[in-house]
Amino acid sequence: MFLKPYPYLLLLCFVFSVCSERIVQISEICSKHSNIDNCNKILLSVPGTSEGADLGSLTSYIINMAHVNAYNSHALISEIIGNTSDAQAKQRYNSCSMDYNDALLSLTQAKQSYSSGNFADVKSNGAVVIKDVQDCDTKAYDSSLLRTENQYLVDLSTIIMILADFLAGKF
């Protein structure tokens, strides 16, 4: 029988603090990002990262940031729907709202996958979020506010995918 090692490893980390941390530099992560400037800005906004960050803690932190951001954008979409009387616009933003429901679900799954050490799943959930947000973005052409938030979530999710590769030992 094959025992999945990670839950036990996490338990050990938690109880005995015996796990060796892996420190990564922001420049190492962002060199793999499609938008290096945005990546640097985001990671430097995380407390204590200028000297490098513990890979596990950073991943957890960024997934949470993405989740909070998606939650807020979802609320913004509801507000846009409530504010418009244009039936066609309502339909577009209703569709965006569904894209975001899916993105929120994927971020919840990414958290669970991270906890159980399934880093390939963290990565694929990151990819689903990007796809959902890009789908919404094509319908949100008349809200620059939402489009800015969409870009931010795409940047965050791209970081999640890169961190998942680090965690899986690809880098």
Ligand X SMILES: *[C@@H]1O[C@H](CO)[C@@H](O)[C@H](O)[C@H]1NC(C)=O
Amino acid at 94: N
Site for ligand X in 112-171 (CB under 6 A): none
Phi, psi of 53 (to 5 degrees): -135, 150
Closest CB 44 distance from ligand X, rounded Å: 29
40 or 78: CB nearest ligand X: 78
Phi, psi of 31 (to 5 degrees): -65, -20
CA–CA distance, 25 with 33 (Å, rounded to integer): 13
Site for ligand X in 27-86 (CB under 6 A): 76, 79-80, 83
22 or 147: CB nearest ligand X: 147
21 or 79: CB nearest ligand X: 79
| Per-position DSSP letters for 88-124, written without gaps between them | HHHHHHHHHHHHHHHHHHHHHHHHHHHHTT-HHHHHH
137 or 163: CB nearest ligand X: 137
89 or 168: CB nearest ligand X: 89
> How many residues touch ligand X (CB under 6 A)?
4
User: Taking Cα atoms as reference points, which of 115, 112, 144 lies closest to residue 125?
Assistant: 112
Closest CB 151 distance from ligand X, rounded Å: 17
Q: What is the DSSP letter of 53?
A: E
Q: At what angle do helices 119-139 and 55-83 cross, to 10 degrees?
A: 20
Q: How many residues does the chain have?
A: 171
Closest CB 86 distance from ligand X, rounded Å: 13
Site for ligand X in 75-94 (CB under 6 A): 76, 79-80, 83
Cβ-proximal residue to ligand X, closest one: 83
Binding site for ligand X (CB under 6 A): 76, 79-80, 83
